[in-house]
């Protein structure tokens, strides 16, 4: 049976601050610039989750996309939307919430709730020109 990839796109808004507490304020300001603002800043994120597998012969689906949407909503969106990624999100405690680190953390959250081997890619658009993706280790 052929293998197919399907992507579900969703959206959330969140605030964060890029700051490495083990470095000086001068270092953080130089490296992160405006993203190091102590008063935070926000983004309108676009999250894409891609699954890959063989379509079920009875349904034609790899997975019901409503079920995938539910997993994404419960594991990610409900935990990050309109929140502060540095302060409010348990699974991001101690993580510098760069787009690169977010896709890894989101992958780990989703991987726990999906059948083994189904998750193919997590892609996060921080803004139109900044996109990170993670395909697992």
| 3-state class (DSSP) for residue 28 | helix
Question: Are 36 and 29 within 8 A, CB to CB?
Answer: yes
Distance of alpha carbon 136 from alpha carbon 40, whole angstroms:
29
Give catalytic residues, as residue numbers.
Answer: 35, 82, 126
What are 83-90's contacts with CB under 8 Å, separation 24+? 83/14, 83/15, 84/14, 84/15, 84/16, 84/40, 85/14, 85/15, 85/16, 86/16, 86/17, 86/19, 86/40
CB within 8 A of 95, min separation 6: which ones?
Answer: 101, 105
């Amino acid at each position: 049976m052929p293998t197919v990839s399907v992507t579900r796109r969703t959206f959330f808004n969140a605030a964060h601050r890029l700051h490495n507490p083990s470095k000086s304020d001068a270092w953080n300001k130089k490296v992160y610039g405006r993203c190091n603002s102590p008063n935070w800043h926000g983004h309108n994120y676009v999250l894409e989750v891609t699954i890959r597998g063989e379509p079920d012969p009875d349904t034609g689906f790899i997975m019901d996309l409503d079920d995938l949407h539910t997993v994404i909503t419960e594991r990610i969106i409900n935990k990050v939307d309109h929140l502060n990624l540095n302060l409010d999100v348990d699974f991001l405690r101690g993580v510098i919430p760069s787009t690169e680190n977010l896709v890894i953390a989101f992958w780990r959250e989703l991987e726990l709730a999906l059948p083994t081997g189904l998750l193919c890619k997590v892609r996060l658009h921080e803004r139109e020109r900044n996109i990170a993706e993670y395909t697992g280790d």
